[in-house]
Amino acid sequence: MKLLKTILLFVIYLITSSSLHAQNDKSIVKKKYLSPPLVKHIYTADPSAHLFNNKIYIYPSHDTATGTKEDDDGGHFNMMDYHILSMDSIGGKVTDHGIALSLKNIPWAGKQLWAPDAAYANNTYYLYFPLKDTAGVFKIGVATSKKPEGPFKAEKLPIKGSYSIDPTVFKDDDGSYYMYFGGIWGGQLQRWDNNEYHAKGALKKPNEIAIQPRIAKMTKDLKSFEKEVKEIVIKDKDGKIFTEKDNDKRFFEASWMHKYNGKYYFSYSTGDTHNICYATGNNPYGPFTYQGVILQPVEGWTNHHSIIQIKNKWYIFYHDVQLSGQTHLRNVKVTELKYNKDGTIVTINAFKL
């Protein structure tokens, strides 16, 4: 009897010890995410959110497992089409409207339909998309529809003077529209200097001035650039332009623009350090002064966001890899964004603490 009691106590000790060890071992404690994926039946990324007709529309990339070999320039991000999502309110049911635009229906298509954006004007909805042409060079195209969910019909040629990736179109208070774009590394921005293409263009060295994002004012029909493409300058609070080694703050990709209390907020991804940062200015062209991090690194290699106001609240849409755990199979999410009284943005952690 004593032997049985001793064995029982030993078993209880082992179970208790194992449980305590599991609680203290972060590698086996399940992560608690701040927000759930908006959809689970397809993989989505790079969400550009807009409020059209009092309804939330999300224009994401559509990740698929095409089997394309992974390379250093993101060849495995081989997206073939776009699915547009919508919902009546944050937390409400999300509708997938099906294929809005397919690679096979774009006359100048090569491959890789990366992060898109949308705009509304002239009783028309515009879908902007980066795509490699048949020569393997990223350009930016535009497609139109009479409905926010599409289907969209692409123009026969890319926007003249456009290049690189991640277009976002911003409407200012005076009715002017501007496109912000660019992305280094796989996005090829390092190959462009003074709007001229250099196939052997290289990334900057650590002490060199970082590559800057681009801006172009749009024509009234929103299908072309009214003025030539210009560089945007992002500085620190001492007025110093970031160098490449400042890679936790300098621009990499994923431009977004919004206004808050009359200020221009230019936000972007730092890429290889995985922050979503922001800088503010008094002009759509900048210069912009770095203010801090909006969203800390998520699970996965990339992040790409959008920020919109819905009634009296602000929200940030972003992505991670909660569903798949794989870099190229992502899922979009949304969470509330908050400002401090001085206009700075409260930094968000994508995990529950």
- The predicted pLDDT at position 31 comes to 83
Amino acid at 276: I
- The predicted pLDDT at position 30 comes to 73
Residue 16 counted as domain residue: no
Residue 351 counted as domain residue: no
Asked about 320 being catalytic, the answer comes back as no
Contact 197, 163 (CB under 8 A): yes
CA 306 to CA 167: how far, in whole Å? 12
Q: Is the preceding omega at residue 287 within 30 degrees of 0, hence cis? A: yes
Residue 302 counted as domain residue: yes
Residue 13 counted as domain residue: no
- The predicted pLDDT at position 66 comes to 86
Mean of the per-residue pLDDT values of the chain: 92
- The predicted pLDDT at position 20 comes to 35
pLDDT by residue for the chain (353 residues), tens only, comes to 444 444 444 434 443 344 334 333 444 357 899 999 999 999 999 999 999 999 999 999 999 988 888 888 898 999 999 999 999 999 999 999 999 999 999 999 999 999 999 999 999 999 999 999 999 999 999 999 999 999 999 999 999 999 999 999 999 999 999 999 999 999 999 999 999 999 999 999 999 999 999 999 999 999 999 999 999 999 999 999 999 999 999 999 999 999 999 999 999 999 999 999 999 999 999 999 999 999 999 999 999 999 999 999 999 999 999 999 999 999 999 999 999 999 999 999 999 98
Residue 52 counted as domain residue: yes
Task: Quote the number of domains for the chain.
Answer: 1
CATH of the domain at 243: 2.115.10.20
Q: For residue 45, what are the domain limits?
A: 38-337
Token pair 């490699």 in the structure block, residue: 132
Residue 342 counted as domain residue: no
- The predicted pLDDT at position 29 comes to 52
Measured from the Cβ of residue 95, the count of other Cβ atoms closer than 10 Å reads 15
Distances (CA, A) of 333 to 77, 83, 86, 178, 307: 19, 15, 13, 26, 12
Q: Tell me the CA end-to-end span of the chain in Å, nearest whole number.
A: 47
Residue 12 counted as domain residue: no
Phi and psi dihedrals of 96, rounded to 5? -95, 115
Active-site residue, from 63, 117, 253, 320: 253
Asked about 253 being catalytic, the answer comes back as yes
Residue 33 counted as domain residue: no
Token pair 């890679």 in the structure block, residue: 247
Question: Which among 81, 86, 125, 83 is positioned nearest to 103, based on CA atoms?
Answer: 81
- The predicted pLDDT at position 216 comes to 98
Active-site residue, from 46, 63, 166, 320: 46
